Structure 1
Amino acid sequence: MRRLLLISNSTLHGSGYLDHCKDTIKYFLTDKVKTVLFVPYALQDRDNYASTARKAYTEMGYGLDSIHEKPSAIEAVRKAEAIFIGGGNTFRLLKTLYDEKVVVEIRKRVLEDGIPYIGSSAGTNVSTVSINTTNDMPIVYPPSFEALALVPFNINPHYLDPNPDSKHMGETREQRIKQYHEYADTPPVLGLREGCILHVEGDKATLRGKTDARLFVRGKEPVEFTPGADMSFLLSATE
């Protein structure tokens, strides 16, 4: 039974790292989990990143081990009670997951063994079918854009609505997602605004957090969903 907490962003304006979602994380993990395995691959300075994450999880009452501090990434995943993958550059993150040969291991632990998975920003991107709807620049090239596929759709974290007062003439986030859907067999894309969270328990998905989400399905108009909405239909999503 898969258990996922997919967070749009780690830091919400006016608060510290994970402050906006600490209560949700504690509710999700419960007291059954003692230590979380952190994956800091999305940033270059892994030591500092792990220190930041460790402080936040310690305040929540959990221990935190960073995968980069372990002699074997594969063994670390195999022994993990829960996994947290943080934000940063999605291309660097996915490439390193492939380099360390943990893509299949993480998928197995989450989908077959049922350990909790928490993703934030890039960590949410890689939980989906592919990273094709990330906002990040391709600073490195992973062997594939196919990701962990813990859910059968894509997510666009940090989703931004068009600003009618802006003089910027580039594509809006909505236009870019619709460009992605110009290709056949592309899955739905859930746009998670800052402060928005998708909580998955088995075959049930619920929108949580402080903001609404916007769903894009190929060939259809976008639809808005508010916190508390049942998003379970996405777990059997097809084009």
Structure 2
Amino acid sequence: MPADALLFSNSRPPGAEVPFAHAAGPLRDHLGHRTVWFVGWARHDLDAYTGWVADALADVLGPVDLRGLHREPDPAATIREADPARETVLVGGGNTFRLRRRTGDNGVLAALRERDDLRYAGASAGSNLACPTIMTTNDMPIVDPGGLDALGRLPVQVNPHYLDPDPHSAHRGETREERIAEFHEENALAVVGLREGAWLFRSGDRLTLDGHTARLFRRGHEPTELAAGTDLSWLLETPTS
């Protein structure tokens, strides 16, 4: 069974001055005293991004041994050789297509698939990468990702930053709900639309929503509102229904 996975809609909820402050407790429990390998390939400036995340985590958790995986001579080997009792992975947000392309090119995606015994945390694009595919990302395809398949740490899809339709908006493009309906015209996997401040936590055969509300979309069903604290473990058994 895969190791624990903690998947955030975002790292900076509206109104929060300190990134990750809304989830300090779960992050502290999840990261523990492990070395954290930070996967920042969703962004362009990897050193700046790694430094920003290190500072943010230190502000809310105290000292964290966070290391940029991009600085390793062989990032994929670092993942393959990681000790699950002492090391974990944190995958940052940004552009999901770029993250999929770069981790595919450098072998980290394959290494993470092999090492599902490593604890995994992700935010935004990093949460998309934990799904069976990246097809429910909100991002623009700025690069050819080299494939849409992802890690499958959950058997369901996540849509981070889920936005409810605004009846007063002048926007005439598809709403997030309509885009997910399009996904279900072609695919059967359930989709959890995580509103800002929400996260999913998988531990063994248990899956829970916390932090904030979310919306569940299943093909052939009306969307369902989910309260913080909802037990979604049944989705691990029947992810396509």
TM-score, L = length of structure 2: 0.92
Tell whether the 8 Å contact from 2:39 to 2:92 is kept in structure 1 after alignment.
Answer: yes
Task: Classify the secondary structure of the residue corresponding to 1:206.
Answer: strand
2:64 pairs, out of 62, 65, 69, with 62
Q: Which residue of 2 aligns with 1:6?
A: 7
Q: Tell me, which stretches of 5 or more residues in structure 2 are unaligned?
A: none
The aligned counterpart of 2:168 is 165
Following the alignment from structure 2 to structure 1, what is the Cα–Cα distance between the partners of residues 57 and 112? 20
- Residue 4 of structure 1 and its aligned partner are, at CA, apart by 0.4
Cα distance in 1 between the residues matched to 2:15 and 2:152: 32
Q: 2:100 aligns with which of 72, 90, 94?
A: 94
Which runs of at least 4 in structure 1 moved beyond 3 Å after TM superposition?
Answer: none
Q: Report Cα offsets for 1:189-238 as digits up to 9, x if no partner.
A: 100000000010011001111x2110000111001111111011111212
Distance (whole Å) between structure 2 residues aligned to residue 142 and residue 66 of structure 1: 21
**Aligned twin of 1:148:** 151
Q: Is the 8 A contact 1:94 1:126 kept in 2?
A: yes
Query: 1:20 Cα shift?
Result: 1.7
Q: Tell me the residue number matched to 1:138.
A: 141
Residues 8-42 of structure 1 show CA distances to partners (whole Å, capped at 9, x for unaligned) of 001112222222222220022334x2x10000000
Aligned residue-pair number: 232
Match of 1:24 in 2: 26
What's 2:91 paired with? 85
Query: Could you tell me which amino acid in structure 2 is paired with residue 69 of structure 1?
Result: R
Question: Residue type of the partner of 1:233?
Answer: W
Q: The residue matched to 2:185 in structure 1 has which SS?
A: coil
Determine the structure 2 residue equivalent to 1:192: 194
Q: What is the Cα deviation at residue 127 of structure 1?
A: 0.3
RMSD between aligned residues? 1.3
CA distance, structure 2, for counterparts of residue 118 and residue 194 of structure 1:
16
After TM superposition, the score normalised by the length of structure 1 is 0.93
SS in 1 for 2:15: coil
1:120 paired to 2:119? no
Please tell me whether the aligned partners of residues 80 and 114 of structure 2 are also in contact (alpha carbons under 8 angstroms). no
Q: Who is 1:181 aligned against?
A: 184
Contact (CA 8 Å) 1:196, 1:208: kept in 2 or not?
Answer: yes
Greater Cα offset, 87-96 or 17-26: 17-26
Q: Matched residues in 2 for 1:70 and 1:56: separation? A: 22
Question: Which residue pairs with 2:39 in the alignment?
Answer: 39
Task: Kindly state the Cα deviation for residue 56 of structure 1 after the two structures are TM-superposed.
Answer: 2.4
Partner SS, residue 5 of structure 1? strand
1:107 Cα deviation from its structure 2 partner: 2.0
SS at match of 2:67: strand
- How far apart, in 2, do the equivalents of 1:65 and 1:234 lie? 33
Alpha-carbon deviations, 1:85-118, whole Å to 9, x = none?
A: 00000000000110011222112222xx2x2100
Unaligned 5+ runs, structure 1: none
Q: Distance in 1 between matches of 2:111 and 2:141?
A: 24
Verify the 8 A CA contact 1:58 1:64 in the aligned structure 2.
Answer: no
* Identity level (%): 44
Following superposition, the deviation at residue 57 of structure 1 comes to: 2.9
Contact 2:38/2:91 (<8 A) preserved: yes
Deviation digits for residues 131-162 of structure 1 (CA, Å, limit 9, x no counterpart): 11100000001111111111111110000001
